[in-house]
Amino acid sequence: MTTSSELDARDCVVVTGASTGIGAASARELARQGFHVLAGVRREQDAEALRLPGIEPVILDITRADHIAELTARVNARTGALRALVNNAGVSANAPVETLPLDEWRRLFEVNLFGHVAVTQALLPTLLRHSGRLINISSVGGKIAMGTFGPYGATKFALEAVSDALRREVAPLGVKVVVVEPGGIRTKMADRGIAVTNQLAKAMSPEHQDRYGPLVQAVTAQTAAFTTKGTSAEDAAQVISKAVNARKPRTRYTIGRDAALLTRLTRVLPDRMLDRLVAAGLRPYWPKTAAPSLKQAADRA
């Protein structure tokens, strides 16, 4: 049986947002490879479900300074090196730009951007001492923003910008920064995101319902279809493991064929042509009750 001192002597990886999905799968995979994984979860029941050999769950809400301070103290109390920080925590909510209350915009940014920056600032000195690496889990939504994906996409576009700047700042100091861009992944987060989107749609004013209701229905149906056919969390964890372990990791990894295709298209197609392709892909999901003028307007966008 491995003792606590032996675990503390192992190289460590911190994974935030490890309660379910990609985070939990990554924690299990990295522990299997011999790392001591500090897995951030928000509830005790999630901690118990994740408590496996090599995994030490820690209660972590990345928007709380006291939680981050406790995590930092735990990392620095270990004798082993901090090999990597995987910034994976996140929330999802889709709504048209006009309709989403500013408090919801702020909530998304607090978790999907500012929380990651706070954890990074706290642990970067340790990563620098150990020549570790930083893995930021972005999204294909950090490269292309579909209709209603403006709020979520804005947080991911911002995370991509922070990652680019940080990569250029710390590469000469021995720390590698890697961005991972998943497409459709079969996780509870995806299901929760759809549920939140439906709640936000119900709260829209009658005027907004007329204006955007069919679009929200179409995007939600398309998202559900892509998620059902998406990559498993376990396969996503293999990509994250590669980003942690590769001697010379790429600056970006995509997960899933949809992410790989869309990120390539954003690099080569003019905006208007990309708009037409997005509209064509959405067309089969428009509700049959939608006014023809709305569908035609979407196709002309």
The answer to whether the beta carbons of residues 159 and 182 sit under 8 Å apart is no
DSSP 3-state helix, strand, coil percentages of the chain (rounded to 5)? 60, 15, 25
Q: How many residues does the chain have?
A: 301
Residues paired with 135 in a beta bridge: 86, 178
Distances (CA, A) of 130 to 30, 60, 81, 244: 18, 23, 6, 14
Q: Which amino acid is at 124?
A: L
**Rounded Cα–Cα distance for residues 173 and 163 (Å):** 15
What lies within 8 Å, CB to CB, of 199 at 6+ separation is none
**Rounded Cα–Cα distance for residues 274 and 182 (Å):** 20
- What residues are labeled active site? 152
Q: Of the candidates 169, 163, 10, which has an alpha carbon nearest to the alpha carbon of residue 81?
A: 10
